[in-house]
Amino acid sequence: MLHKNFVEYAILLLFKDRNDHLFSFLIFSFIVFILSSVLFISDSLQYDLIQSIKAQPSIVVENTRAGRAYQMHEGYVYDISKITGVSGVEGVVDGYHHFAQKRLWFHIIGDPSLTKDEMLIGQGVQKAMAELYYNDEFHFLTEERMINVKINKIAPKGTNIISNDAIYLNPNTARAVLGMEMDEYSKLYVSVPNPNEVGQVTLKIVEIYPSAKATSQADAIGAVRHVYYYKGGIFMILYVIALVSFFILLKNQISLVYGEKKKEIAILRSLGFCIKDIIALKLIQNSVVSVSAYLLGVAFAYIYVFVFNAPYLRNIFLGNELENSICLTPVVDLNLLFLIFLFGVIPFLAFVILPAWKIAISDMSEAVKS
């Protein structure tokens, strides 16, 4: 067991040589900061999207024709509602409107709680409209006519990841904007009370309508995770490359520093320090450096993402044409933070200790004489 005086001596020596450790401390903190920020953003966006999917009914049905989305009518609602296990089917109006003046696409969503001449818009939509002075009313230009709708409400900021590019309209107004007939739907929301029957009902829907695409909650959640794992994986590859480059630089720097401090190690050996003590001394010093750099990087990442909403970096994940001022929900995956610690701090210590060990086992007599 290490003696208290030995640990205090190691810490004092660390502060005496703090300039030698500053480079590795700053670079390692920065690498941990970047990776932690990416993981925080990815986890937060995944969490919000998955929560929104869980709020939807068990199955979402979309129709396709020639590989493109195609409308459904009341016949689909009737047939699917007769499947055993289905408690309800709701037709939904959903589509995209091209805002030609800004070359943007707005997501149109039918909302029965709104009247025909009012709409609720997301914050990104509000900013885009306000730039062309659509502050109280907006004109939807369709192939047949112009539809004027009052801008009644702005969606809350907390729903921004879902509503940022969305315009909520009365379903009949939404149909007029999207060029749909009054009895047509874009999607069907199917409710299945028993979770064990969802898979069977999904297969039955596709069996009745082979051109339809039935997506269960589990499939939708899997698709979201796949997208964010893919983007997170790209950053993980870049992280590994940066980390390996850093460790090579660190090894060269440590070898150089320890080469200059060979006399110091030789004096410690002559005072009675064995090789194990020299290794323990360097292990204590560099554990303090690596762990404090790791904690600093994670803390800065948390502040950057959840206090300042990750400016610039979040746009890589959102990929939206509209400006998105979302509030990221604080979500911290401790397992991932442990993995960063394991694959960051442990190699860090290994790359530092090995040069010290090589010097400690070499012949110290020449170093003492010099």
User: pTM (2 decimals)?
Assistant: 0.74
Task: Determine which helix (DSSP H) or strand (DSSP E) holds 360, and give its type and residue range.
Answer: helix 334-360
Q: What is the per-residue pLDDT for 93?
A: 92
Average pLDDT over residues 87-94: 91
Q: Quickly state the pLDDT bin for 319 (edges 50, 70, 90).
A: low
Res 320 pLDDT > 70: no
CB 57, CB 191: distance < 8 Å? yes
Q: Quickly state the pLDDT bin for 292 (edges 50, 70, 90).
A: very high
Helix/strand/coil (H/E/C) assignment for every residue in 218-257? HHHHHHHHHHHHHHHHHHHHHHHHHHHHHHHHHHHHHHHH
N- to C-terminal Cα separation, the chain: 34
Average pLDDT over residues 140-163: 78
Residue 187 CB contacts under 8 Å (≥ 6 apart), including other chains = 60, 61, 62, 72, 91, 92, 94
Q: Quickly state the pLDDT bin for 300 (edges 50, 70, 90).
A: very high
What torsion do the CA atoms of 73, 75, 77, 80 make, to the nearest 10 degrees? Answer: -140
Quick one: tokens of 164?
């940022």
Average pLDDT over residues 27-54: 85
Quick one: tokens of 93?
């109006």
Task: Determine which helix (DSSP H) or strand (DSSP E) holds 362, and give its type and residue range.
Answer: none
**Which residue from 31, 11, 34 is spatially nearest to 23, judged by alpha carbons?**
31
What is the greatest pairwise CA distance in the chain?
Answer: 97
Res 369 pLDDT > 70: no
Res 302 pLDDT > 90: yes
Q: Quickly state the pLDDT bin for 232 (edges 50, 70, 90).
A: low
Res 267 pLDDT > 90: no
Q: What is the per-residue pLDDT for 284?
A: 86
Q: What is the per-residue pLDDT for 259?
A: 62
**Which residue from 158, 154, 160 is spatially nearest to 138, judged by alpha carbons?**
154
Distance CA 87, CA 171 (A): 22
Grouping H, G, I as helix, E, B as strand and the rest as coil, residue 23 is helix
Distance CA 38, CA 15 (A): 32
What is the share, in percent, of the chain residues with pLDDT greater than 90?
15
Q: How many CA atoms lie within 13 A of 349 on its CB side?
A: 20
Res 303 pLDDT > 70: yes
| CA angle 284–7–244, rounded 5-degree value | 5
Average per-residue pLDDT for the chain: 82
Distance CA 102, CA 98 (A): 9
Res 367 pLDDT > 60: no
Grouping H, G, I as helix, E, B as strand and the rest as coil, residue 72 is strand
